[in-house]
Each structure stands twice: as structure tokens, then as C-alpha cells.
Structure 1
């Protein structure tokens, strides 16, 4: 489905006002202005803008518990989610706690196929052999009532660090640090799980410093490479705090100061660390870490992030790369099958729900995401989870709040949904095997009641038109390096009319083109752009301007997101 293109508007007079770096072209300034920044310090904030940890509820409980545990040599077990945010948060927790004096730190992560999401009673039973004194959850826990209750029955202390939306009641943990909690005064509600955990470490270091302890001088900035990767990967809104964290992490990675495992992953991804971008993290680094949790065991990804032996980390990165290739193949096959299902592309179906007995539950979220982009509607995708359950993942469009919609179904039909959680744009749930049809009917009813929200079209927001002379390597590099781009602070996107002088199909799905404007010719690539129809000679394209690393030198490439006859 083609999306309307809406050009962002800025006050042109402010392009020369503010503390813009002199070497920034006007096009880059315009991009930042359109996203709400007033100058260079707003556009690329430093760590000095980070709000202090004060305001986060239960820090006054979590910090003393962890510090007392460290002093008594208690066994602290970090339990992580099995995605990239969870894996990086786990690595930050283990590394950070050791920097702050902990000598007895372990970690555990659920098996997606065996335990499902989060700290479940089944996982607690398995953790008993580790004899933990303190469980520290990262990137999950806010919805793990049963698992936390089981842990408390065993006499363990439980500290939750999470960023997912809480339900009506909170679990019975000893401390819950989550900026999404009602009454929490922390100004940045968009922290990823790894960001929340990093803030707990900052508060612990401050307490050590106030007590005159040696660990009060711990350099926690060495963890920001991991914080940046997890924050980008989880697609949280990039507010000022998140952009500051990501910017600092990117600077470390570009200087070669990243942890050994991340450097290995950059290498196997064929990326140049000195020019690494948030797009490289989102499309190359994070998927390789995520692949372990989707198809295999996330411990492989966490071990890679915790490792200090370059040769071992290289082997682990190569294994993650191989798993990711398998994941891509499986994902494409599942997407093709989903599109071929009856009624999926029917515009009358307000919320498509797709499922298949042979699908893998670790990949359904990616299937939902691909279908959402294609159909511009919320999508639920389900796969079997054992013999008794369906495990689902959903992705949404702006205006339709997924978690609230699922919560409404749960309230209307108690017992229909076994468990659920998530955000406005992404959510997950588990259903009893016999409940799938009833859930589809119930979510369709919710969709019909919110038809106005579903009718909203997610327009492509363009930064306007670049003249042909500006489509050069200087602008491409400035746009690539001039911001921490991502959710809520999107990568620069331009649009204009070009003549299509040449085109060919690459890899069966992609379209390689030569575009021309004002006598200048440009290489262009549209991934998944082959629709079976010859491109119009005159085409209106929405594109990103990037350096052409394949050709090198002064070559640039237009990455086409959408193309239609002019």
C-alpha cells in the first residue's frame, strides 16, 4: 500500500540561528529543526543533559538491597528477556555490578520454547539449583506476578527493572524500578530496559561515592556501547535522554572502544566501525543478537557481549551470523505464506490475524511487522507454543494502542488470554489452543469500535526536496553522521520526481535503478521494490541519501522507500 507523502515544515529563518555547527549544511539543520531541535546541542545532546536518577520510584529500595548484597557476597542472579534489549541489559548488569564490587553475579535467561516470556514459575523452579539470594530482572518483570510470587516463596529478594507498561496491579517484588509506573517523577519515560538498568547502576555508584568507597569512581561510561545498542534495538522513542545515551555509545564504538563482542559483531556484519550509524545497529547488529533468542539460546548472544577474548567472541559472532541467516530465510517463507492466506490483503479486515501450525514462535513478531508495513494495519501473528498454546506477537500503526486493545479484550473475556504485555506499537500474548478463534473475533470487535483510529494512514514524513547539486557525498556523510536517528527522531527522508533511466531486478525482490534529475544521474536501490510491473519513466520517489560504500570515493546512493508514477 502506497503511503501519502507529507513534507515537514520548518521556520526557515531559524536555520541560521542557534548553536548550529558551522560545517553542518542547511539540509541537516532543516532535518533537526523539523524534529524539534533548536540548535546543535539539542540535535546531538551530550551526557550532561541526562536527568539525574532521582525521581525513579523504588531506587531508594533497590540501591540499598543491591549494595548490601554486594557487601555480604550474596549471589545476585540477573534474569533477562530474550531480545536484544534484554541481552544488552543483562551484559550491562553483570559488567556493571562487577565494576561496583560484586563478586558473585550470574545470569539466566528463559528459553522461549520452554518457559515463554519473562520470569515464570517454571523458570524459578530451574533457578533453584543456582541458589540465588537476589533476583534482578532486566527488561521484564512488571507483568511477572506468578514468577515473582514463586521466587518470594523461596525466600529470595526480587528487584524488578523494566520499562514495559504496568497492569492494574504490581507484582510483590522488593523493589520495582520502572519509569512507566504511576506516580513516577522521572522525566524520561522512554528509556529502554537497558537504560533503566544503567540508571540503577548510576544511582549505586553515586551512593558508593557518597560513602567514600573506591567503587564510587567506577567508569560506567564504558558500558554505553551496550546501552546504545539495546536502546536502538528496542525502538523506543529517542527523546533527549535516549539520544544522549546513543550518541555517547556510538562515539565509543566509532573510536574502537566498544566491548570485544560488539566489535566482533560489527566485523561479521561487514560494517565499518568508524562510520557506524544507528541504522547499522538496527539492521545489522541487533538482528544478529536477537536471532539467538528467536531460534536458539540467547545465552550465546549474552556470552558474546560479556566476553573479553577476541578469538572466542569472533567465533560466537560468526555463530550468531549463521543463526541470523537462518532466521531471515524462515521469516521470508513465513511472510510469503501469510500474504497468501485468505482475506489477509482484504481491506475489509480491520486487524488481520495470521497463524500457521508450522510457524516458529520466535519469528512471528517479524512477520507481524512486515505485514503491518505492507498493509498499514495492526497485525497479529501466531505460532504454536507446545501442544496447548498459541504464542502471538502484534505490531500496530499510530493511533491504535495495542496493549490497551488486548487489555480490553482481556477485561471483556476473562480467561481468554493466558498472559500479555507490551507497548502501544508492539505487544505479545499467549492463548490457550482452543481460544484463537474467539480472540480473533474479540479483537476484530475492538477494531471495529475504533475504526476511526484504524482509518488513519501512517504518512511518510518527508524533509522536502534536495536539489540535484546537494545529492553529493558531503551531504550524504553529514546526514549519516549528524544525528542519532530512530523511533520518534526519524532518519532524514526526502522526496522528488526523477526520470528512471535504467532498472534491473536484484535477488528476485529488489530493484536497482538509475535515476536522473537536472542532468545528474544517481544510483538507487529499492529493497523489496519489485512488484512485477515496469517502473514508470517519471517517478515520484521518497528516498534516503547515503554514501555508496560499495563503490567508495564520492559515490552516493539513493535508498528508495516508496516509488510511484509522477
Structure 2
């Protein structure tokens, strides 16, 4: 039986409001070839001069200020020297999979001969380096290196030590009150860590560890000939960074841009190329959004529904045929995931359909038939529909209906992981385990405690969220001037990224007249939109619409993209929001 946490008094659901980003200063120093619209877009993201988008690897932050590196690289250098067995303990999402592949490939490049990996099954081992995962390791390694997890693995690290193994934790998640007693920890988000960028993904932390290890080995004279080229790993670093939705600050944009450049030049690993083929995406014209919305989900699906080993093997193989076979398996799992997600989202929307108000500010949703690997996607859709933080729960496994696993998504201004920490402090024992970031977090609790958690989550949300935060808003870069909806600008926008979290894709809003339209597939539109200012007509598409027909006069929020059809490029408007004008 489904359960939606609705408390005593209602709060009206907001309609979407278009708001415009304002420049954060006056652009200067740009080459005349850079379109004025693009200069304006950069200024709205705080980049006023060309130096802010010069994403050269030489401008990457130095590893020296990342805390914990010295102890970690000493352990790794000794392990390589003594031919120790090193095991990479990864995670079952895209960041964890790419980080694991980077660690295995990178350590082998640096001379490690005995490198293996393990990744937990979320339904068997739980999240992170748990005692169950440690006990499953056969043969036992001498050194465990976590990737994208471990900052909360107090019991798992203790168990590894009991069995005589050393542990290096590399992670980027926020620490709790207690840290594991590991042999070294590298995490830019530890209290007091001086690394200037706190936005590194797990794969980025691992890449930095490898950079520092190479410098250590170089100083020891380990490389008789040319030293290993770690830039060969940047396609994987870019994929994990973009797919994990970490903020694309300057440092992360440098990493992502270098990886995208590598993919575009045809030098990606066999697995990424195979996944792009499955997604019908061109490597030559790849954008960050292709990594985030086409490649990343195919990897994530394995961790959600089955076993992330398939994804990691796809990223580790250098054989194109093997990569295509594994990518095909991932693609099939992803299709199953999409079908399951569609059913679960439909059920979630049915629970709230027709509501003009909903009592909870923090919404908790539980359905016993749901799949624990997909609840995060349900929470994301619910958050978008209701514009308030949402947590969706499912039974921990088919054999364990007494415990729930939940995944939450938040809105700007409400730090989800901190909110869970507040609940944990106020009601010790209610939440069995939790972790995450400002905008996304996971937790587990007993099924009988769901109503109590729902009430506590709503209470914290009411306490921390100002009423104006509940107004759903879509931020745009304003109107495009008449005559600017051109292929020239569309090409510049595509090349100008990488766009992503905290450095959003350019979005514009203009008034149009609908000169014609027709259905395209199921629930999509193909439109011809006339600009009333100069009479020009523009090709447009909109996906996943829930209206019977577009308005005859409309205001549309849209991306200006490049439509590549049979080798011919043309500008197209990708509509994100439409309202009558």
C-alpha cells in the first residue's frame, strides 16, 4: 500500500515562473569572433573575461594542497615497490564506475602488477566499504583503496584492519561526526582541508591521487623511459564528473573539457565509444550533456538493477568487440530501467495527481512494490513536479520488507544531507544510515519508522525553507535578438561549454507565433515558430509534452541547438517550457 506523507495544513503548489539571469559584471577583453550573446551568457555565470573559459590542463589546480595525499601515496608507492595486492573498492554509480576504471588503469600505468577491484551489490552488501563487502574479498588484498566512498565506512575499515588489510579512503562525500580509522584519507570536503575546489567528483579525487603518485615515483627514479601519460584517463574523468552532477566550477570544467576534447578527437577508450554508439551519439560533436544524459544513465542502470561489474569491465577493456558486447548489455539493462522508472513515476504522480496543495514541505513517499535501485529517479521527478524536497522509499530488498532504502533530491536553499543530520541528531536511531550532498542523499530506516521519519523530514523542511523558495522558477538568459537564432550562434554555444551543474546550458525565452505543428512520436511536438519581430520561421521540437496542442501565441524557453541530419547542420529550438502569451 502506497504512503504519501501529508500533514495537517496545505501549501499551494506553485506554477513555473520564468526568471532571467543577470550579468554579474561587464564583459571585457573578448575577441570579436566571440558572439555578443555568448559573452552575455558567460557574464551571467560570473565569467567576465576570456581567462575564465581558458580550460587548459596547465591551469588545473595543483594536487599539493589536497590533504591526505602524502600518506596515501607513500602507501601506494610501497605497495607498487613490494608487489602487493591492491584492491580498488568502488561504488555502483557512474562516478564510482569511472573512478574504479581510472584507479585500475592508472595504477597499472604506474607499475602496479597486482590490481583488482570489487564493487558492492547494493542489495547484498549495502553502500560503501561495508563489513559484508570486506568479508567477501577473496583472495584478500594487502591494501584496499576506496573510490567515491569510504568517508562513512567506520565498520568496514575496522573489519579490514581486523583481517590485516590496510585501507586508503578516497571520497568526496561530506563527512559525518565520526571518521573511519583508515591508514590515509583523501577527501577535499574534510574539515580543514585546504584544497580550493570542494566540487571534485570521486573520479576527480582519484585522478588527483594518481597525479601525486606519479610525481612521487618520478622523484624515486621509477620511470626508466618516458613516464606514464595519465591524460589517457581524462575521458573517464570527464564522464564521471559530468554524470555525478557535481558543480562544474573552473577546475572541474578543465577536467571535463580535456576529456571531451579527447573523445571528440577519437581517442576515447573502447567502452565510451561503444556506449556512444548504443546511444546514437557522435563522438566528433560530443557535448557534456551527451555524457550526462546518454552515456551516464547506461552505466548507472547496471548499478541500479544488476551488477556494476558489467559497466566497469566495459570501461576497462581495450577490445572494441568486447566493449560493444558489454555496452549492448548495459543498453538492455537501461531499457528495463526506463520501463521500471516510468511505472514508478506514474504511480508517484498518481498519488499527487489533482492536488492543488500538498501539506508537506518536505515530502516522503513509500510504495512497497517499488525497486530500491530506482527510487532516486522517482524522488527527482517528484521534486520537479512539486518543487519541494522529496525522498522516495522502497523495501531494502525482495527478502527484506522490514527495512527501507530511500533516496532524496532537494531544491536550491535546502541542504539535504545537513537536514538528515539534523533529524539524526534530534531522533537518534531513527535513521540507520545516511550520506550524500546538498542536492542528493541516501538513507535507510526501518519500515515501521517511515511515518515518524516523514513527519521529522517535513518539520525540518518547514524550519529551513523560506516560503519564497517554494516558487518553482526556470532561469533563462533572456531573449535572443531578432536575427540571432542562427547556425553560427548554435555552433558557438555547442563548442563553448562544458555546460552542466552550476554552469548551466544557455536557455533563452522569446515570444513566438505557432506557424504549424504536428505530433512527433508519442507525446512530442515538431513545430514551426514565427518570430513576430522579423517574420523569420524556425524549426523547433518539444519532448514529453502533456498538452493536446501548443498555443497559437506562446512564450517559449528554449535551447538553441545544432540539428545534424544526414550531414547537414541547421539551427533548431529545443523547447523546455511553453506558456500562452
Query: Could you tell which deviates more after superposition, 246-255 or 406-415?
Result: 406-415
Q: Deviations over 1:414-468 (max 9, x none)?
A: 1111100000100000111221111111111112222416734353221121124
Determine which of 197, 222, 225 is the counterpart of 1:213.
222
Determine which of 193, 203, 208 is the counterpart of 1:194.
203
Query: Could you tell which deviates more after superposition, 458-467 or 164-173?
Result: 458-467
Are 1:397 and 1:458, in contact at CA under 8 Å, matched by a contact in 2? Answer: no
Matched, 1:347 2:358: yes
> Hey, what does 2:8 align to over in structure 1?
none
Are 2:25 and 2:43, in contact at CA under 8 Å, matched by a contact in 1? Answer: no
Matched, 1:171 2:187: no
Provide the C-alpha distance between the structure 1 equivalents of 2:547 and 2:308, rounded to a whole number of angstroms: 36
Normalised by the size of structure 1, how large is the TM-score?
0.96
> Hey, what does 1:538 align to over in structure 2?
553
Q: 1:45 to 1:344 in 2, by over 3 A?
A: farther
Matched, 1:94 2:104: yes
Provide the C-alpha distance between the structure 2 equivalents of 1:303 and 1:414, rounded to a whole number of angstroms: 40
Matched, 1:491 2:505: yes
Normalised by the size of structure 2, how large is the TM-score?
0.94
> Hey, what does 2:382 align to over in structure 1?
371
> Hey, what does 2:67 align to over in structure 1?
57
Q: Which runs of 5 or more structure 2 residues have no equivalent in the other structure?
A: 1-13
Provide the C-alpha distance between the structure 1 equivalents of 2:462 and 2:353, rounded to a whole number of angstroms: 16
> Hey, what does 1:559 align to over in structure 2?
574
**What SS does the corresponding residue of 2:96 show, helix, strand or coil?**
helix
> Hey, what does 1:255 align to over in structure 2?
265
Q: Deviations over 1:76-109 (max 9, x none)?
A: 0001110000000000000000011000000000
Shift of 1:524: 1.7
**What SS does the corresponding residue of 1:274 show, helix, strand or coil?**
coil
Shift of 1:544: 0.2
> Hey, what does 1:418 align to over in structure 2?
432
Are 2:486 and 2:571, in contact at CA under 8 Å, matched by a contact in 1? Answer: yes
Question: How many residue pairs get matched?
Answer: 561
Matched, 1:384 2:395: yes
Matched, 1:148 2:134: no
Shift of 1:505: 3.4
Determine which of 108, 120, 128 is the counterpart of 1:110.
120
> Hey, what does 2:544 align to over in structure 1?
528
What is the aligned-residue RMSD (CA, Å)? 1.7
Matched, 1:295 2:295: no
Provide the C-alpha distance between the structure 2 equivalents of 1:248 and 1:342, rounded to a whole number of angstroms: 43
Are 2:556 and 2:576, in contact at CA under 8 Å, matched by a contact in 1? Answer: yes
Provide the C-alpha distance between the structure 1 equivalents of 2:25 and 2:158, rounded to a whole number of angstroms: 57
Shift of 1:57: 1.5
Shift of 1:552: 5.1
Shift of 1:227: 0.2
Q: Which runs of 5 or more structure 1 residues have no equivalent in the other structure?
A: none
Are 1:231 and 1:246, in contact at CA under 8 Å, matched by a contact in 2? Answer: yes
Provide the C-alpha distance between the structure 2 equivalents of 1:443 and 1:13, rounded to a whole number of angstroms: 42
Provide the C-alpha distance between the structure 2 equivalents of 1:436 and 1:322, rounded to a whole number of angstroms: 34
> Hey, what does 2:527 align to over in structure 1?
513
Shift of 1:560: 1.1
Q: 1:344 to 1:538 in 2, by over 3 A?
A: closer
Provide the C-alpha distance between the structure 2 equivalents of 1:501 and 1:124, rounded to a whole number of angstroms: 63
Q: Deviations over 1:301-320 (max 9, x none)?
A: 00000001110101111111
Q: 1:12 to 1:447 in 2, by over 3 A?
A: closer
Taking CA–CA contacts closer than 8 Å with sequence separation of 6 or more, which of the two structures ends up with the larger relative contact order? 2
